[in-house]
Amino acid sequence: DNWLADYHKGWTNWHLHETHIATKPMPVFVKNWGVYGPTVFANGLIHAPVGLQDVYWQSGKAEKDGYRRFRADHLFYLMPKPNHWARGLGVAISSREKWLAEGLERDCQWLPETPSPFLDPAKGDYRPRASSVLVGKASPAFLDPKDAGLRVRRDFLGVPRPNPPTPGAFEPRSAHQ
């Protein structure tokens, strides 16, 4: 139940295989306070069953089109329609179609009607079920990239990532593992 703030400059800020959970209404997924380099969300998962007001928000020292510095690749949105996909500093992109027309996403999926893919979210267990629609939907690009700093071969619990991996921090497990 938190949101991200980004205010870096001069490099690409990578967010790889992250799971973001919002169990209560949240104002935003990420805020741009003045980003002067790309921010990439890849092979990630946003689960906000009660929704987000905005996905990408810009303010502060951000440029009017600062939201264009956000990129998503194999990012999965499990949430109802947000009020805006991008907003702030005179920008308001409300429809998914207009957001996609910006060309900032690649192979991302918005799954507004998907039931919880997790083993036991009521107890804080956000490992995906083996039957989840997410299994094997992430890009294998980060299993062995040229830049070793971007390599993600294991999940957050040390489980090896298969090819193709599952988006988010965890590979699927059964309730007994």
In 94-157, where does DSSP find H-type helix?
A: 96-101
Identify the pLDDT of residue 34. 80
DSSP secondary structure code for residue 4 in this structure: E
Report yes or no: 167 and 142 within 8 Å, Cβ to Cβ: no
Q: Nearest-CA neighbor of 125 among 80, 169, 76?
A: 169
Side chain identity at residue 80, one-letter code: P
Confidence band (pLDDT; 50, 70, 90) for 18?
Answer: very high
Identify the pLDDT of residue 60. 73
Q: Residue 167: is it exposed, middle or buried by C-beta count within 10 angstroms (0-12/13-18/19+)? A: buried
Q: Are strands 84-88 and 91-93 parallel, antiparallel or unpaired?
A: antiparallel
* Residue 77 to residue 12: CA distance in whole angstroms: 22
pLDDT digits (tens, 9 = 90+) for 19-69: 999 999 999 999 888 878 899 999 999 999 999 999 999 887 778 888 898
In the chain, where does DSSP find H-type helix?
A: 96-101
Confidence band (pLDDT; 50, 70, 90) for 177?
Answer: low
Global pTM value: 0.93
